[in-house]
Chain A
Amino acid sequence: EAGVTQFPSHSVIEKGQTVTLRCDPISGHDNLYWYRRVMGKEIKFLLHFVKESKQDESGMPNNRFLAERTGGTYSTLKVQPAELEDSGVYFCASCSSGTGGADTQYFGPGTRLTVL
């Protein structure tokens, strides 16, 4: 079974530019999450999708961040315009719904974003 995949693995952009990160969850997982780790800090929650709906977006830092999950499969996270403080590693995770496996989140390798 393929794991969570993320693209790109690295992105270097200049302040003011736009970047779009993509996450493909494990097939069949209804729950998809975005997290972020900025330098020296712990991994922090950004957003949770259940299928195509936003279940919890309490961690989104501001309206420069836009997450979508059209069709309830892959998700994109767009940062527009990017600022220096957006630099960090963005992780995507997914988990199934229902009893037994509902609580374990499986993480992708992350996208390292550097804003210059």
Chain B
Amino acid sequence: SQKIEQNSEALNIQEGKTATLTCNYTNYSPAYLQWYRQDPGRGPVFLLLIRENEKEKRKERLKVTFDTTLKQSLFHITASQPADSATYLCALGYSSASKIIFGSGTRLSIRP
């Protein structure tokens, strides 16, 4: 079965720096990959989706890359702010509107 690994359970960085989170998967590549943000006591909030034929996607201070050869996605937050502190989840989808498979998440803390 598919296994998803997110680089670390927790990542602490200084405000203003770029946060880089990693999502690695085994076996077959997904049709698309999504990144979600989750705050304590809340549901996941969709951030970005990247398809298998796309290399990079950007949205404001967020950037995601997708390398199907390495079986890896990188998620970057530039000019990080304390308000970016949250758990970030990557999720893989294999067909349109199908179930998605989540990684365990990385808890990001941005210190002032």
Interface residues of A (CB under 8 A from B): 4, 31, 33, 35, 41-45, 48, 50, 56, 58-59, 91, 93, 95, 97, 102-110
Contact = CB atoms under 8 A, between A and B. Distances in A.
Chain B: number of interface residues, binned into ranges: 20 to 34
B61 interface: no
20 contacts: A4-B43, A33-B99, A35-B102, A42-B103, A42-B105, A44-B102, A45-B100, A56-B99, A58-B99, A102-B96, A103-B97, A104-B34, A104-B46, A104-B49, A105-B46, A105-B100, A107-B43, A107-B44, A109-B41, A110-B42
A102 B95 CA distance: 10
B101 A45 contact: yes
B46 A106 contact: yes
Contact of A59 (B4, B96, B99, B103): B99
Interface string B31-56: 11010100001111110010000000
Nearest to B101: A45
A50 B96 CA distance: 12
Contacts of B89: 43
Interface in B83-112: 89, 93, 96-105
Given A56-B99, A103-B49, A91 B104 contact: no
A53 to B, nearest CB: 13
B60 to A, nearest CB: 17
Contact of A107 (B45, B49, B104): B45
A100 B34 CA distance: 14
Contacts of A95: 97
A59 B101 CA distance: 11
Contact of B97 (A4, A35, A58, A102): A102
Nearest to B46: A104
Residue from B43, B89, B102 whose CB has the most chain A CB atoms within 10 Å: B43
B48 to A, nearest CB: 10
